[in-house]
Structure 1
């Protein structure tokens, strides 16, 4: 089994936190988004992963440190890491075809801006499984249309009239991803464009038209990391899941002086807490110092210094210095507020 991860986007909706760090590498509950996503998919598949192919953007932004991190992720699963570049932002189908050399055999394609919790058996008799989640407002999503046999017969983008309430979450299994490659090659060769881009859906629709069997795989939880507010919410939800799983979330190397931790919280190594209450639902990266503060429902990255703060629904980047009384804030890397 292979996992194909298109992640060439700059994550503009999550700025300023993605000005120096690609969105898939922004930590949530102590681990980069893409690391959590790939690890959770591997658990769902419950079989050896032979290769993880990552599709990156501009090397000036997705540099050597990103490549090292991704290779470590793949190797941790016992898999080969393949690195590809999408030179231009020409759509989801174009991104997948940037990894053309890896598009053979059974594979999962997963876009690295979402997290899941799921437990189910993969239907390997189908030509493809599209992961979906039941939603309250399907008109805001791309949804699947099913026939009487619960097979997917159509993909409908933001339907104005009810089609179904099963939203496509951006994770797909293909029994032979080489079939998708052939159809996407047709899309590229014949300049089939929707929304100004080459889309994975156009390749999938061609597969459907040739009688390929598509079924749904439903997830229990679908968590977005598209902007600051939903990323903070996803951090909260993920901490709750990890606590239930019995994971140890607080490093033994933290230093506390008149400090109180209200779980669940993730606190990395060498964090200093002084005259501070942290939690619930807070993640703090390594080496961060927090003094004379109250922090809840927030995400703070590494090597920052926070003083005299009362934070709720906050997201603070790396190497930040913050001293003040603001509450709902969003501060990127290397910012100073004193």
Structure 2
């Protein structure tokens, strides 16, 4: 995978560094797990499937290792050109990482979607694969045991030898560090790939857009399909501000597919868009460490998920 020039470190003896990716059905807990391992929010989360659209890299620093996590979109049967492109991102990522973590939620029985992914994983022979049973906080011991047995059987049925089967809860932290302990020995020996302190290599512009999109998705439930794209047009420091009172002006557009969706995003008298702005502004200020003025506009980009030109313009 592409990486920065190795950061200078002290003794390289026994130091390991490399890439791991989490794959699984949409909404299997991949982004939440990435954030829990990194210790800070680097991937957006939502209780709706297909939230992730970029391969977010989260970086876990340890004295003896650097684990770079690539969070991929959920692999699914695509219904749009966007869906096909998201699946291509997943497959490209699998081919380039040192270890693959297959996330299966503890509270949902393994089904056709899991088999579809496992069958593809079975074709990748050399890369070690770890089965990660997520969301263990949602089930009792009996349900968890049944899921662990089902996951083991899924591997055996398709000829996958799991390097490990690990139950975790990213929400309460159960076995999250153990998972990192198990992934590290599967990485190749080598120096750190990123400087100490870096938690992601995503550009700030992309992360700001993702935080706005996360806030826009929250609470719309089934009213709005995943047809929101956010483009940050500019981020510029406000001129004439004193050095001790900076302000960053951020202008962003939220694109939806149909005029009828505009009212859902904006809400009565603009209340919902204002709420999206307030929530995402707090998150952006925490990310960038500076006060922000956020200017949001909602625009219609007709059927953008199916239009190659629009997809390119919106960064897909």
Q: What is the TM-score normalised by the length of structure 2? A: 0.29
Q: What is the TM-score normalised by the length of structure 1? A: 0.28
Report the structure, 1 or 2, having the larger helix content.
2
Quick one: higher RCO (CA 8 Å, sep 6+), 1 or 2?
A: 2
